[in-house]
Each structure stands twice: as C-alpha cells, then as structure tokens.
Structure 1
Amino acid sequence: MVHPYLFLHFFREILAPLGISEAGADAVVYTWLIIIALILVSLAATKRMAAVPSGMQNFMEVVIGGIENMLVETMGEHGRPFFPLIATLAIFILVSNLIGLVPGFFPPTANINTTAACAVVVFVMTHVVGVKEHGFGYIKHFLGPIMWLAPMMFFIEVIGHFSRVISLTLRLFGNMNGHELVLIIFFGLAPFLVPLPMMLMGVLVSFIQAFVFMLLAMIYIQGSLEHAH
C-alpha cells in the first residue's frame, strides 16, 4: 500500500535506487523515525534519575512497571530475563500502531515486512531459549506424548511452530493495514470530522494488537521453557 499523504514521502525517491519500493521506503523511514524518537524519550527519562520520579521518568516507570507486572504474571519470576525483549517489542509495536493515527505519518506495522521481522525475532528467540534450557532434550517438545506417534507428531509440531510466524505476522499486519486503508478512504472523501470515529477506534485497535503480540510472545517463550510431557 502506498500512502498518498505522507510528510516524508521524498525519501521514496532517495531509496528507489536501492531497489526499495515506495511502500517499503515508507516503512523503513518511519521505523527509523520511531527508533530515534524512542531513543530520545529514553534519554530524557533517564537523564535526571530521582528517587521520587517526576515528568518523563514517572511516565516511563508506569509503562515499564505495567509491562513487567504482566510479564511476571504470565511467565513467573523466571520470565524476568526476557523483559528487555518483550518490553522492546511491546513499546515499538504500540508506537508504530499509534503513529498512523497522526495525519501525514505512516505506521510501519501496516507493512508486512515490519510485522514479519518482529514475528521472526519471537520465533528465533523461542527456540534459542528452548535449546539453551533443555539442550538436545528440547526435541521432546516436538515428539508428542506417545512414542509410536512421534514421527507424525514431529512434522505436525514443526508446521505448528512455523505457523506461529505466519499468525503473528498476518494478524498485526492485517489489522493495521486494514485500518490504514479505511482512514485513507475517509480522509479522501471527507477530511474533516468524519474520520474521527475511526481514529478513536484506531487507538483501541493499536493497544489491543500490541497487547496480543506481546502476550503471544510471552506464551511461546514460556512454552519453550517448560519440560516436555
């Protein structure tokens, strides 16, 4: 999808010689914009750390504390080492979703390459954690509870694990891309007031999709930590 109303559309011509499509250029440019913005927010929140937080530090502590509590409730105390990954994904996806509600900005999560990259990160981390935790015994997660069914169960489980990547990718991409298309249509037909209800709904969708992605990432990693039965 090529967005017709972007502020940074001129980067399309700059990135075109690299073989990047217009839609891909929009996703790359706004992904880097979000990364830079998050770095600046992090620096502002940690520049003057205080025992009694205020301002940006107070806001970020609420956000980080909420994600940490959800992580511990879902995965238990042994899930704390994965907090940096889960928090990074959650915040990046949420901001990527919300930025599309600002006229002239493109949500990177409305491009399938962005959502696929996030899904692959979760997929790889899941199995890296499984191998690190169980060693060669991690293969038992793919063999099922009955040994004589193990060969068939192995292929079923492998397909199931790869389908997680497709599921994570398409769920986030489909929701954000669909919402972006609706907004473009409404802005083209009636740019004033009419798109507001869809934009308000977009805030809810943005939070829900970030939450679902984060929750599924935690569940998948938690599953790789458990012992096979």
Structure 2
Amino acid sequence: MFLKEFFYYIGLPMPQHVLYSWFFIILLLLLAWTATRRMTLVPRGVQNFFEFLIKAVEDFVVANMGEPGRKVFPVLFTLLIYIWVLNVSGLIPSIDAPTANINTTASMAIFVFLYYNYWGFKLHGLKYIKHFMGPYWWLAPIMFPIEIVSHLARPLSLTLRLFGNIRGEEIVIALMFLLAPLLGSLPIFILFLLMKTMQAFVFFMLSMMYLKGAFEEAH
C-alpha cells in the first residue's frame, strides 16, 4: 500500500499489481547484479547458489527439449523465477501477489503464446502451418479449425490456471491469519509456499512443452 500511496502522491497513480510487479523486477535485477558483479572461478555465496540453480534448470530443459532448448532457456528460466517471486510475495503481510490479478497472468500467457509461435515460424517458415493441419492432408479441413481453437485456448488456460490458484490461495491466507493464531497457521503457511512454487513450475512446464512442439517438425 505504501508504494501505491507514494506514486499517487507524486501524481503517478498506478494499479497495485503493476507497482509490485515493477518493484520485484527491480529487486531481481539488483539480486542478479549482486550475484555477477564479482564473479570468480570458484563460485561462492549468491553466485554459487545461482550457478547451481541455473545449471539444474538448464539441464532439465535440455533433457526435455534436446540441445535446441538452450536457445529458449534464458526466457524460460526468467519466467520461472519471476512468477515464483510474484507468487511468493503474496505470503508477505499487506502485499497482494501480482499474479493474483488476471491482468498480470494474461500478459505473461500472451507473451508465451506469441513467443512459441515466433519460434515456430522462425525455424520452419510457412511450413509451420503444417502443425495445424493434422497427420494426413485429407484431415486438414477438420483439424485446422480444431488446432486453431486449441492453440488460442492455451493462453486462456495459462491465464486462468495461475490466476485462479493464486487468487484462491490469497483469499484463504487472509482468512487464515484473521481466524487462526500465527503459530497454528505456520504449517498451512508452508503448504501454501509449496503450492505457489508448484504453480510457477506448472506455468514453466507448459511453456516449455509449447516451445518443444513449435521446435519439432510437423508430421
């Protein structure tokens, strides 16, 4: 609320979810700068943690997508970390997670939709349209509209899945702290932390699968 009131005071009213989104973007950039400003051959501290995390996620992406996955790994990793931070921010008292606002989740879902289709056309040219035609040419009149609807439903699915889960958790957390003592709420608090982590991972996984499909040759 402090950020919202501050920007309103200086004549720049902004929605709360936008303010917190930019706040955590800046926070992540500062963290990245801290991890890389004094890089050493023998990593330690923040550098060591991020090198381990990046290596683990990169290996996971390559294991599922093959070597071409390295081309899109930076975007996928950024999505994973960004969404996780926004999700978890809702556990901080007085802060609503930006991902509990449908505008935030819709913007990321639309980005993923445009990004994987961009790679599809970049790698295959107009032949990428064959992905929408089905396995046999005579099925094309039936499969094409079905595939178009299916692909258009993907950003909608990404948007509503993340928004619905995080918004629901935010409501339960608010009620939990109103009705239950703090110590009695800690196990549930940890459970919600795991659930928010899972939601970030699901968004990351689905995005990776869509990219994998765009990378593959149409059959």
Extract unaligned runs of 5+ from structure 2.
none
Alignment-derived partner of residue 45 in structure 2: 55
**Separation (CA, whole Å) in 2 of partners of 1:81 and 1:11:** 40
Which TM-score applies when normalising by structure 2? 0.93
Taking a change above 3 Å as real, the CA distance of residues 35 and 191 of structure 1, as seen in their structure-2 partners, is: farther
Please point out which of 82, 101, 109 is paired with 1:119: 109
Aligned ranges for residues 115-194 of structure 1 at < 5 Å? 115-190=105-180, 192-194=182-184
Corresponding letter in the other structure for 1:108: P
Q: What is the RMSD computed on CA atoms of the aligned residues?
A: 1.9
Give per-residue Cα distances to partners, 1:74-103, cap 9 Å, x unaligned. 111111010111011000001111111121
Which TM-score applies when normalising by structure 1? 0.89
Moved over 3 A (4+): 6-9, 11-18
Corresponding letter in the other structure for 2:114: V
Alignment-derived partner of residue 45 in structure 1: 35
Alignment-derived partner of residue 79 in structure 1: 69
Taking a change above 3 Å as real, the CA distance of residues 184 and 7 of structure 1, as seen in their structure-2 partners, is: farther
**Separation (CA, whole Å) in 1 of partners of 2:167 and 2:74:** 27
Identity of aligned residues (%): 48
SS in 1 for 2:183: coil
Alignment-derived partner of residue 197 in structure 2: 207
Please point out which of 71, 81, 87 is paired with 1:91: 81
**Separation (CA, whole Å) in 1 of partners of 2:53 and 2:88:** 15
**Separation (CA, whole Å) in 2 of partners of 1:15 and 1:113:** 24
**Separation (CA, whole Å) in 2 of partners of 1:93 and 1:15:** 29
Alignment-derived partner of residue 10 in structure 1: 5
Extract unaligned runs of 5+ from structure 1.
1-5
Q: Is the 8 A contact 1:11 1:29 kept in 2?
A: no
Corresponding letter in the other structure for 1:205: M
Taking a change above 3 Å as real, the CA distance of residues 222 and 113 of structure 1, as seen in their structure-2 partners, is: same
Alignment-derived partner of residue 66 in structure 1: 56
**Separation (CA, whole Å) in 2 of partners of 1:9 and 1:187:** 23
Give per-residue Cα distances to partners, 1:21-80, cap 9 Å, x unaligned. xxxx12111101110100000000001000001111011112211211111111111110
Corresponding letter in the other structure for 2:66: G
Q: Is the 8 A contact 1:100 1:180 kept in 2?
A: yes
**Separation (CA, whole Å) in 2 of partners of 1:112 and 1:195:** 27
Q: Is the 8 A contact 2:4 2:19 kept in 1?
A: no
Alignment-derived partner of residue 110 in structure 1: 100
Corresponding letter in the other structure for 2:148: V
SS in 1 for 2:182: coil
Please point out which of 217, 224, 229 is paired with 2:207: 217
